[in-house]
Amino acid sequence: MSVNYNIVKNSLYHLKYSQNVKKTIGDIEYNLSSSSSCIINHPNYDDKYIMIIRYVNYYLDKSGNPTSLSNSNGENKTITFNRILVLDYYLNIEQEYFLDTIYESNKPYIGIEDVRFFNFNQEIYYIGSYYNNNKINIVSGIYNLGDTFLSNRIITPSFDTDPNKNEKNWCFFNNNGELNVIYKWSPLHICKINYETKKLDLIKTKTMPKYFHSIRGSTSGLEYDNKIWFIVHYSKDFLDKKNYIHMFVVFNKEMDLVGHSKPFKFRNCIVEYCMGMILNKKNNFVITFSLLDKTTELFILSNSFVNSIIKYIE
């Protein structure tokens, strides 16, 4: 399939929240750059939004090679801090604060990475990646707005998986009033987190088209037009790096695939990452993304444009 190489050019609005800051952890001051983000509708106000932004101590050059931002002793760790924004109807910042990151000297990755928020029954649920026991795990729970800490409660699959597999990119969606998770896209694994047992339980699997084999999760599911919409991604080898490419995929309420877009890039960077997609009050699509792990951007697509790029399955 051909690729649309600059979907942002079709936006109604395009905003940037990119920022560089200094934060101290473990008595070391780090230079941090804002990166990937996720946006949700505010659970208590219908004209406000919540955004969580990841800040990291590195960035990627245009070829996808990492460059460490300087710190006081050159320590080789990947550091993540997360920042909360409360945005008004016009997406202006009303409130902002950083969440605490716990320093763990024996780990190469510090902090909870790529946090996805999801608004369900007026509560903010989160899923993020956390390094522990020599692998990346998923942590999840409920976040209370105003708290400055995310619990690193690890959730593990209760079904058979590779015990050495890094767990990443689980995505929430509202499955007819039940909070479910997409664990895997081919075959489609629909699951539910049991927060008492700290297990991810498998509910159902579905056979998917062949091209879904390489798809990974990006955004949580969005309910629109009596369907459930996701942005997903896959990667293609480019020299010795992974080139990230995205698609809209659309399901009916029974989670049968009904359509998808052509593949697209946000700005034709080798590494692009998307975790947030919601509707605003005009039913337009608000989408957050980052480029080369060093920008924090948001753009709005009209629902008519998004509908126009979906090819529905007959």
Q: Where residue 242 sits, what CATH number does that domain have?
A: 2.115.10.20
**Do residues 295 and 18 make contact, with C-beta atoms less than 8 angstroms apart?**
yes
Residue 100 lies in a domain: yes
Q: What CA–CA distance (Å, rounded) separates 281 from 89?
A: 9
So what's the pLDDT on residue 181? Answer: 98
Residue 1 lies in a domain: no
So what's the pLDDT on residue 74? Answer: 60
Residue 189 lies in a domain: yes
Q: What CA–CA distance (Å, rounded) separates 170 from 60?
A: 24
User: Which residue segment(s) compose the domain that 281 sits in?
Assistant: 7-312
Phi-psi region of 9 (alpha: psi -120 to 50; beta: other; left: phi over 0): alpha
Residue 2 lies in a domain: no
So what's the pLDDT on residue 48? Answer: 97
**Do residues 227 and 240 make contact, with C-beta atoms less than 8 angstroms apart?**
no
So what's the pLDDT on residue 27? Answer: 85
So what's the pLDDT on residue 240? Answer: 66
So what's the pLDDT on residue 73? Answer: 61
Report the 3 state secondary structure along the chain.
CCCECCHHHHCCEEEECCCEEEEEECCEEEEEEEEEEEEEECCCCCCCEEEEEEEECEEECCCCCEEECCECCCCCCEEEEEEEEEECCCCCEEEEEECCCCCCCCCCEECCEEEEEEEECCEEEEEEEEEECCEEEEEEEEECCCCCCCCCCEEEECCCCCCCCCCCCCEEEEECCEEEEEEEECCEEEEEEECCCCEEEEEEEECCCHHHHHCEECCCCEEECCEEEEEEEEEEEECCEEEEEEEEEEECCCCCEEEEECCECCCCCCCEEEEEEEECCCCCEEEEEEECCCCCEEEEECHHHHHHCEEECC
Residue 299 lies in a domain: yes
So what's the pLDDT on residue 236? Answer: 83
> CA triplet 124, 107, 199: central angle to 5 degrees?
40
So what's the pLDDT on residue 106? Answer: 86
Q: How many domains is the chain partitioned into structurally?
A: 1
Please, what's the b/e burial string for 37-49 (b: 16 or more CB within 10 A of its CB; e: otherwise)? bbbbbbbeeeebb
CA dihedral 302, 11, 291, 141 (to 10 degrees): -30
The string of pLDDT tens digits covering residues 225-284 is 999 999 999 988 766 678 999 999 999 999 999 999 999 999 999 999 999 999 999 999
Closest CA to 257 of 302, 311, 217, 297: 311
Give residues with Cβ within 8 angstroms of 107, minimum separation 6.
77, 131, 132
Question: How many Cα atoms within 13 Å fall on the side-chain side of residue 109?
Answer: 12
So what's the pLDDT on residue 26? Answer: 82
Closest CA to 302 of 277, 278, 284: 284
**Do residues 291 and 266 make contact, with C-beta atoms less than 8 angstroms apart?**
yes
Instruction: Please state the pTM of the whole predicted model.
Output: 0.95
Flag residues of the chain having pLDDT under 50.
none
Q: What CA–CA distance (Å, rounded) separates 134 from 141?
A: 22
